[in-house]
């Protein structure tokens, strides 16, 4: 291959690295005709014999067939699917349309593909080549990229190639961009492929092609004998406003127009078929008056090749030119002929799309066929494909109500596929077609979800409330589901009026609610009271919404409201247990897409209950999966939560960086305020009290002032204002916190309220409040707050010159902070100890096992599961990793822990 030695060397190095157990992936991109496919073919032809090569190519005609590309890639190894773990086996089988009643999680399909490839790579290294990624079906793209992002120790290299100027499917992988060939390399290529050219003609071709290999060869082959001999201008003079691609396409069209009519008909049929199936192309072409013998002129012109049972265009641009130059009626006739040539259930989806392309006006029969194809795509987990099928089905029906229903179904699928603009457009179009309340409510739910995702929770809440009110009398369950979403958006928007409206509709629903949904309604009423500044009633309602049966957390809406109720009521244990149940449900059901939210809730509960090491593990896993599944909004929220951990640990730059990446402060899109409060906590321990007070004032006075984390951060505000000498500045906020703490009745909350009174009140009353606080802390909960109370009391005692008493409190505080990994707080406690006259030798407590603190969060997860007796396969299924990656993490962890084998892990204290 001329001019690509550097690129070939890079890809070979990657393959060598993966053969050694360092899996990798890369995205190759460049202009059309630049040589991406040739590069992939060259690499594939020169790999060592031990490397098995799997290939797939995105086909424009199959872009709406879910998992078509994944099916093509895995077809040579499909016999190994039966050996996958049961959940992954079922997901992959459902994706391929072979089994399953419920749509599989598309990321679980990706994990199944990764597991299959990883297990095959144990036998021989793998090279997976995916070409023309710009035409991959969305479901395949999601699955393949999920697998590519999680390559670690697998003997696998994945190379994705795609065209510039299109939506870059593999945009977040390492990149290799193919540049144009140099003049010298262009001349070499022309000399090799068109040796008979006159030097002047060759130079003109090189100049016109601008270093694009396809243009070089196309322009050279398009020359007449006279032009080859240099007697005439070899190609038309370049027009200043004509691009290389424009000249190339014009040259290809000229070549195709010069072919016999029957050959052009066969070329059009092959272009319309798209996948290259020779039997279908020939059968369809016969009905249009062409036969297989008419392929010969196209082969002689080097436009396509025929190999076995497949027709291959030499380049996608040739296929596009053959299709585009045909009149619309001829294109429709070709698709109609192809639909007639495709029989049987295996070809039902392809037949549907050919009928769609052939329909030039309303066609009820084709509409029904497309709707059925959409339903099949939905069952296979191909939401993007389903959306397109339902939307096209809507275009082909004249029945307004039926069109509205199809658009509603399309909008739901678009939303599930993350196609927000399309979803909003389909919803608006459907709304204009119907007056049916339940259908209008369904369409409104889509618009609201788009508004929420795009950063307008208040608009989302209003839309949902209006729609829920319209259907409250006829569809109470649907109305409550909409109200549940509305209350969440209104809560984070700080829209109390919307919460009042939600409660009013709940009163109308009354006894018609199912028993299982009553706690959800109770929680929403509690939210309204909390936002109204009535914690006495609000907390009581929220406590009543916390289920004794933790398995409720397995269901998304009841589980989310149960966990929220526990957090807002200050019941950390219940929140953690419910979140754990939700995480386990997501793992057991293979709900990879939903797992980051469940892990986020668990991380929050673990942070609040002082389980910082566990929170770091949960948060890291949530981040990895959210990143690998492209959940940008979830990542922003996680950044804010993880900023809290960084603040506790005194990792200043990490905290600030995470808070910047979060939505941050009072303007946070989904509104938890974790990022802003994390910065406040960091500023507090660094004695930047004015910054704390200003930031907290903004949060408390903004739309997030009533939220969980801002409520819990009020004591930070109190301490900062006291140290600034302006305690009155904190009194209104403390009154809110004090009322909440009294209503919640949690020992830790009552203790913190006493600590704040000690700081805010007269010096003569302080000790009584500190003692009350310590007594309340004995009831358990929030060890970080308990250590802070002892620190504050110790500081007060030292200032009162009661040094021995101060040392007692400060010593316990330092130990508590050490145990929590709260480094700057421990340093502050030891500084106070030194000031009290103590000789300080205490340092941070060692990990339970030497070396434990050197493990990464993922290594620690793997080690703990391995110590429990789980196999690599079982661990991989639980953590959504390949078994080989599990083994890789164990291999790295053993020397850190001073062990040599899995059997020794059971005897370690792993925390």
27 and 147 within one domain: yes
Q: 126 pLDDT exceeds 90?
A: yes
166 and 23 within one domain: yes
Does the residue 497 lie in any domain? no
Q: What percent of the chain shows pLDDT beyond 70?
A: 96
What SS3 string covers 413-444?
A: HHHHCCCHHHHHHHHHHHHCCCCCHHHHHHHH
Burial of 261 (0-12, 13-18, 19+ CB in 10 A): exposed
CA 754 to chain centre: 43
52 and 154 within one domain: yes
143 and 12 within one domain: yes
Model confidence band, residue 517 (pLDDT cutoffs 50, 70, 90): confident
Q: 200 pLDDT exceeds 90?
A: no
The rounded distance, in Å, linking the Cα atoms of 807 and 864 is 38
Average of per-residue pLDDT across 718-737 = 96
The mean of the pLDDT values for the chain is 91
- Final residue before a domain boundary, out of 341, 374, 389: 341
Q: What are the tokens at 375?
A: 């339903």
The rounded distance, in Å, linking the Cα atoms of 617 and 127 is 32
Q: 845 pLDDT exceeds 60?
A: no
- Decide: 410 and 426 in contact? Cβ < 8 Å: yes
Domain count, the chain: 3
- Final residue before a domain boundary, out of 154, 177, 200: 177
CA 345 to chain centre: 33
What pLDDT, on a 0 to 100 scale, did the predictor assign at position 666? 39
165 and 50 within one domain: yes
- Which among 56, 77, 79, 52 has a CA at the least distance from the CA of 67? 56
271 and 168 within one domain: no
* Domain extent at residue 84: 5-177
Per-state percent for the chain, helix, strand, coil, to nearest 5: 70, 5, 25
The model's pTM is 0.86
What pLDDT, on a 0 to 100 scale, did the predictor assign at position 748? 96
Half-sphere exposure of 229 (CA within 13 A, CB side): 4
What pLDDT, on a 0 to 100 scale, did the predictor assign at position 790? 97
Using one digit for the tens of pLDDT, what is the confidence trace for 545-597? 999 999 999 998 999 999 999 999 999 999 999 999 999 999 988 889 899 99
What pLDDT, on a 0 to 100 scale, did the predictor assign at position 234? 53
What pLDDT, on a 0 to 100 scale, did the predictor assign at position 228? 77
Does the residue 416 lie in any domain? no
Range in 93-102, 138-147, 338-347 with the lowest mean pLDDT:
93-102
The rounded distance, in Å, linking the Cα atoms of 507 and 473 is 12
Q: 847 pLDDT exceeds 90?
A: no
Does the residue 302 lie in any domain? yes
Q: 330 pLDDT exceeds 90?
A: yes
What pLDDT, on a 0 to 100 scale, did the predictor assign at position 663? 64
126-131 vs 310-313, strand pairing mode:
unpaired
DSSP letter, residue 179: P
Q: 868 pLDDT exceeds 60?
A: yes
- Decide: 671 and 704 in contact? Cβ < 8 Å: yes
464 membership: H or E segment, kind and range: helix 457-471
Does the residue 118 lie in any domain? yes
CATH number, domain containing residue 869:
1.10.10.10
Phi, psi (rounded to 5 degrees) for 232: -130, 165
Q: 849 pLDDT exceeds 50?
A: yes
Using one digit for the tens of pLDDT, what is the confidence trace for 457-466? 899 999 999 9
- Which among 586, 690, 689 has a CA at the least distance from the CA of 629? 586
What SS3 string covers 466-522?
A: HHHHHHCCCCHHHHHHHHHHHHHHHHHHCCHHHHHHHHHHHHHHHHHCCHHHHHHHH
What SS3 string covers 34-51?
A: CCHHHHHHHHHHCCCCCC
293 and 156 within one domain: no
Does the residue 323 lie in any domain? yes
Burial of 523 (0-12, 13-18, 19+ CB in 10 A): buried
Does the residue 295 lie in any domain? yes
Q: 527 pLDDT exceeds 50?
A: yes
Average of per-residue pLDDT across 122-143 = 94
Q: 240 pLDDT exceeds 80?
A: no
Residues 6+ away with beta carbon under 8 Å from 682: 646, 647, 650, 652, 655, 656
The rounded distance, in Å, linking the Cα atoms of 2 and 633 is 45
Beta bridge partners of 160: 27, 130
The rounded distance, in Å, linking the Cα atoms of 27 and 42 is 16
- Which among 444, 349, 308, 437 has a CA at the least distance from the CA of 63? 349
Q: What are the tokens at 562?
A: 């149960």
What pLDDT, on a 0 to 100 scale, did the predictor assign at position 246? 86
Phi, psi (rounded to 5 degrees) for 655: -60, -50
The rounded distance, in Å, linking the Cα atoms of 106 and 381 is 6
128 membership: H or E segment, kind and range: strand 126-131
Q: What are the tokens at 841?
A: 């030798």
Model confidence band, residue 454 (pLDDT cutoffs 50, 70, 90): confident
CA 712 to chain centre: 30
What pLDDT, on a 0 to 100 scale, did the predictor assign at position 100? 66
DSSP letter, residue 154: S
Average of per-residue pLDDT across 473-477 = 91
CATH number, domain containing residue 39:
3.40.50.300
Using one digit for the tens of pLDDT, what is the confidence trace for 660-717? 888 644 344 444 588 999 999 999 999 999 999 999 999 998 888 888 899 999 999 9
Phi, psi (rounded to 5 degrees) for 188: -60, -45
Does the residue 624 lie in any domain? no
What pLDDT, on a 0 to 100 scale, did the predictor assign at position 664? 46
- Decide: 768 and 731 in contact? Cβ < 8 Å: no
Using one digit for the tens of pLDDT, what is the confidence trace for 404-422? 999 999 999 999 988 999 9
- Which among 279, 270, 256 has a CA at the least distance from the CA of 312? 270
- Final residue before a domain boundary, out of 137, 154, 177: 177
112 and 12 within one domain: yes
What pLDDT, on a 0 to 100 scale, did the predictor assign at position 671? 42
Using one digit for the tens of pLDDT, what is the confidence trace for 795-838? 999 999 999 999 999 999 999 999 999 999 999 999 999 998 88
Average of per-residue pLDDT across 400-406 = 97
Does the residue 671 lie in any domain? no
- Decide: 877 and 119 in contact? Cβ < 8 Å: no
Using one digit for the tens of pLDDT, what is the confidence trace for 604-628? 999 999 999 899 999 999 999 998 8
- Which among 761, 679, 767 has a CA at the least distance from the CA of 727? 761
What radius of gyration do the chain's Cα atoms show? 33
Residues 6+ away with beta carbon under 8 Å from 97: 376, 380
The rounded distance, in Å, linking the Cα atoms of 629 and 596 is 9
Angstrom distances, CA of residue 70 to CA of 96, 128, 888 = 9, 11, 26
The rounded distance, in Å, linking the Cα atoms of 156 and 126 is 5
Q: 482 pLDDT exceeds 50?
A: yes
């Amino acid at each position: 291959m001329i001019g690509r030695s550097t690129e070939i060397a890079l890809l070979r190095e990657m393959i060598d690295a993966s053969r050694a157990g360092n899996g990798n992936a890369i995205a190759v991109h460049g202009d059309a005709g630049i040589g991406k496919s040739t590069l992939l073919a060259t690499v594939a032809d020169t790999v060592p014999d031990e490397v098995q090569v799997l290939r797939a190519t995105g086909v424009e005609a199959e872009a709406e067939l879910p998992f078509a590309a994944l099916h093509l890639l895995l077809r040579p190894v499909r016999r190994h699917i039966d050996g996958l773990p049961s959940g992954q086996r079922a997901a992959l089988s459902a994706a391929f349309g072979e089994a399953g009643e419920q749509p599989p999680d598309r990321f679980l399909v990706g994990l199944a593909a990764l597991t299959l490839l990883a297990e095959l790579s144990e036998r021989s290294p793998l090279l997976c080549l995916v070409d023309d990624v710009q035409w991959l079906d969305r479901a395949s793209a999601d699955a393949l990229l999920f697998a590519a992002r999680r390559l670690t120790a697998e003997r696998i290299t994945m190379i994705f190639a795609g065209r510039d100027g299109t939506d870059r499917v593999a945009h977040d992988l390492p990149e290799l961009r193919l540049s144009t060939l140099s003049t010298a390399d262009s001349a070499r290529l022309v000399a090799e492929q068109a040796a008979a050219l006159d030097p002047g003609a060759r130079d003109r071709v090189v100049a016109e092609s601008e270093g694009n290999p396809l243009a070089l060869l196309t322009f050279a082959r398009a020359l007449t004998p006279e032009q080859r001999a240099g007697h005439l201008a070899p190609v038309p003079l370049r027009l200043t406003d004509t691009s290389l691609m424009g000249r190339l396409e014009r040259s290809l069209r000229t070549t195709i127009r010069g072919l016999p009519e029957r050959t052009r008909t066969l070329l059009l049929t092959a272009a319309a078929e798209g996948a290259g199936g020779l039997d279908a192309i020939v059968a369809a072409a016969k009905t249009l008056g062409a036969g297989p013998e008419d392929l010969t002129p196209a082969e002689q012109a080097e436009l396509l090749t025929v190999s076995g049972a497949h027709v291959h265009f030499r380049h996608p641009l040739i296929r596009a030119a053959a299709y585009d130059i045909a009149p619309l009626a001829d294109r429709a006739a070709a698709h109609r002929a192809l639909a007639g040539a495709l029989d049987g259930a295996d070809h039902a989806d392809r037949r549907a799309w050919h009928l769609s392309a052939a329909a030039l006006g309303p066609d009820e029969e084709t509409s029904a066929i497309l709707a059925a194809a959409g339903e099949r795509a939905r069952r296979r987990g191909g939401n993007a494909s389903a959306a397109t099928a339902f939307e096209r089905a809507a275009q082909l029906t004249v029945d307004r109500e039926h069109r509205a229903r199809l658009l509603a179904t399309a909008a739901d699928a678009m939303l599930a596929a993350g196609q927000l603009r399309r979803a909003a457009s389909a919803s608006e179009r459907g709304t204009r077609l119907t007056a049916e309340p339940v259908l209008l409510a369904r369409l409104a739910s889509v618009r609201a979800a788009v508004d929420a995702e795009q950063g307008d929770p208040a608009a989302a809440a209003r839309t949902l409330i209006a729609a829920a009110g319209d259907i409250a009398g006829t569809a109470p369950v649907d109305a409550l589901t909409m109200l549940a979403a509305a209350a969440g958006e209104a809560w984070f928007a700080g829209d109390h009026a919307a919460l009042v409206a939600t409660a009013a509709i709940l009163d109308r629903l009354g006894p018609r609610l199912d028993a299982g949904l009553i706690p959800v309604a109770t929680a929403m009423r509690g939210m309204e009271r909390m936002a109204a500044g009535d914690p006495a009633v609000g907390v009581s309602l929220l406590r009543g919404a916390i289920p004794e049966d933790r398995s409720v957390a397995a269901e998304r809406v009841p589980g989310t409201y149960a966990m929220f109720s526990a957090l807002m009521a200050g019941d950390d244990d219940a929140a953690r247990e419910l979140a754990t149940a939700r995480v386990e449900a997501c793992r057991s059901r293979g709900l990879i897409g939903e797992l980051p939210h469940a892990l986020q809730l668990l991380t929050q509960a673990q942070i609040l209950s002082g389980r910082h090491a566990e929170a770091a593990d949960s948060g890291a896993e949530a981040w990895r999966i959210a990143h690998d599944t492209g959940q940008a909004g979830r990542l922003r929220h996680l950044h804010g939560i993880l900023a809290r951990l960084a603040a506790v640990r005194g990792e200043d730059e990490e905290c600030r960086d995470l808070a910047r990446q979060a939505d941050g402060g009072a303007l946070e899109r989904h509104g938890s305020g974790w990022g802003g409060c994390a910065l406040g906590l960091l500023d507090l321990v660094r004695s930047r009290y004015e910054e704390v007070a200003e930031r907290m004032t903004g949060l408390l006075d903004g739309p997030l002032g009533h939220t969980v984390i801002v409520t819990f951060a009020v004591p930070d505000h109190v301490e900062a204002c006291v140290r600034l000498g302006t305690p009155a500045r904190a009194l209104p906020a403390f009154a809110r916190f004090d009322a909440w703490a009294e209503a919640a009745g949690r020992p830790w909350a009552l203790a913190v309220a006493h600590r704040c009174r000690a700081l805010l009140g007269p010096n003569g009353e302080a000790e009584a409040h500190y003692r009350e606080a310590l007594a309340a802390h004995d009831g358990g909960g929030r060890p970080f707050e308990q250590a802070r109370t002892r620190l504050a009391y110790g500081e007060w005692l030292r200032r009162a010159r009661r040094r021995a008493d101060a040392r007692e409190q400060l010593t316990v505080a330092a130990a508590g902070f050490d145990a929590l990994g709260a480094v700057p707080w421990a340093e502050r406690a030891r500084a106070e100890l030194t000031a009290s006259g103590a000789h300080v030798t205490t340092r941070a407590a060692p990990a339970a096992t030497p070396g434990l603190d050197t493990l990464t969060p993922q290594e620690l997860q793997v080690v703990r599961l391995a110590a429990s007796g789980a196999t690599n396969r079982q661990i991989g299924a639980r953590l959504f990793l390949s078994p080989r990656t599990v083994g890789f993490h164990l291999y790295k962890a053993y020397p850190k822990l001073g062990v040599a084998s899995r059997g020794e892990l059971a005897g370690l204290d792993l925390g």
